[in-house]
Structure 1
């Protein structure tokens, strides 16, 4: 309960002394991407700086490292690592999921962070992802299914028009299609939580290795 791993009737439990009602479902999420939320994050690799000037720094985030500190995790996050490199505060303006690797940009001042945040908010900063999925992905297209929290699976989002979700758009292009897997380029127009994971799952081709979404 203390680390936010317990859900009662699909809602995170905050009070360990709460009385349960008859037939209520209790879910304990002990693993996220194969690692217990109580387990310390291992030592991170040396920070790989891709670009740095007086205003911004772009780094290569490794898979398995949280973008920022989160409840139930111990150990350094990418924000901590970059902050230590800068000797001050690192202005995080976008996040990659813990399991995702790739370029992450930080502002080195309040004004730079605000300018970067506006670029991401207005869509002038373009994001491109590569993912390996299960077989059967179409050649390309756009997924425009709204996203909403999945009440039956805590910590997971669903892509469906059947719920009152938030708008989300993902353009995709299949770069390779084989019998065992596909390689796809993803260009999200919006930046919703778990957007790419949920949209690919809705297509019937979840990201390989993504246990939470059936990959």
Structure 2
């Protein structure tokens, strides 16, 4: 039964021939249509018949066909409030307009279904009074870009509405300079390269992305080799676009997935774990670090460049294999 606080979302969409949804699971496609609703909730609504295909009740795993029409009514309970939770933050720079920090690996940036507490946003609400009014999204106040949970490194947060608008535009129009350090599996012979493969949702794995030559969004990754050891190469990466999992997808496509990557690398294939090199076994997460960030200050217009020290686990792994000498100079 609906109460006065519930929200009803009506969805209807036709699956066109050749579109990226053809062949995908019904629950995956419907969950994307119902923004903010978990796939589990959508699956339950499909089983109950609240979401149908061509007016017929289907299973969540039904594979979409050209011409299928998804329709239904989703009863959504209100989202829980986001609480302020004091936490230790490695702050690189802070002024009345922006905050620059070094995010540790393992920290989720903002609340989402399945992970409402202990995110960076919870910490920001406690550290920056008034930031809850910045950006117009109660789940992501002040957030202008994101890093994956298991990616460490530099982030900039907007503390005022004006800074939020300025920084969002800077990211959108590619006025931010972003460099990463990535440890990839395999010994690369080339010294540099550019990857321009478009990226879209993986047709089967809902949490992964993939190269999609027909429906993907443009993505540009520049890279240069910094060091190499047995079985792995340290590269510096400059992003010209900011697609989800861009670095991870592009290096997977090159045949050099990131060391420790549970979605795109060897770690996700149980049969290969026993054959992993020691450097692979020693990595508990993808070895990816957002290293440098450069942009114009949203209030003063002054050029600002920041560098985030490597996370302890990644630094220790690189040092133990002779891949890192502490040199903070960029290859670009």
Per the normalisation by structure 2, the TM-score is 0.53
Q: 1:158 aligns with which of 195, 210, 217?
A: 210
Q: Which runs of 5+ in 1 are unaligned?
A: 1-6, 26-42
| Residue among 127, 130, 138 paired with 2:178 | 127
Residue 144 (structure 1) aligned with residue 186 (structure 2): no
Deviation at residue 87 of structure 1 after TM alignment: 2.0
Q: Which of 127, 140, 161 is the equivalent residue of 1:85?
A: 127
- Aligned partner (choices 42, 61, 83) of residue 103 of structure 2: 61
Kindly indicate whether the alpha-carbon contact (under 8 Å) linking 2:26 and 2:60 is maintained by their aligned counterparts in 1: no
Alignment partner, residue 28 of structure 1? none
Q: 1:1-215 alignment to 2 at 5 Å?
A: 8=25, 11=28, 12=31, 13=39, 14-16=42-44, 18=47, 20-21=58-59, 24=62, 46-89=88-131, 90-137=141-188, 138-161=190-213, 163-215=214-266
Question: Is contact 1:140-1:174 (8 Å) kept?
Answer: yes
Any gaps of 5 or more consecutive residues in structure 2? 1-23, 32-38, 48-56, 64-84, 132-140, 267-332
Query: Cα 1:97–1:22, aligned 2, differ >3 Å: closer, same or farther?
Result: closer
State the 1:55 CA deviation.
0.9
Q: Is the 8 A contact 1:10 1:154 kept in 2?
A: no
1:193 positional shift: 0.8
Q: C-alpha distance in 2, partners of 1:45/1:21?
A: 43
SS at match of 2:263: helix
Inter-partner Cα distance in structure 2 for 1:169 and 1:197:
13
Report the counterpart of residue 35 of structure 1 in structure 2: none
Change (3 A) 1:114 1:184: same
Deviations 1:128-180 (A, max 9, x none): 1101110133321100000011112221111242x321110000111112222
* SS, match of residue 81 in structure 1: helix
Query: Secondary structure at 2:178's aligned position in 1?
Result: coil
The answer (yes or no) to whether the contact 2:25–2:61 under 8 Å persists in 1 is: no
- For the residue of structure 1 that corresponds to 2:109, the secondary structure is coil
Take 1:73 and 1:8, find their aligned partners in 2: how far apart are those partners? 24
Are the aligned partners of 2:27 and 2:43 in contact in 1 as well (CA < 8 Å)? no
Structure number with greater Rg is 2
Say which structure is richer in helix: 2
| RMSD value, Cα | 2.3
Cα distance per residue 1:38-74 (max 9 Å; x no partner): xxxxx99611110011211101111011111111114
- TM-score after normalising by structure 1: 0.81
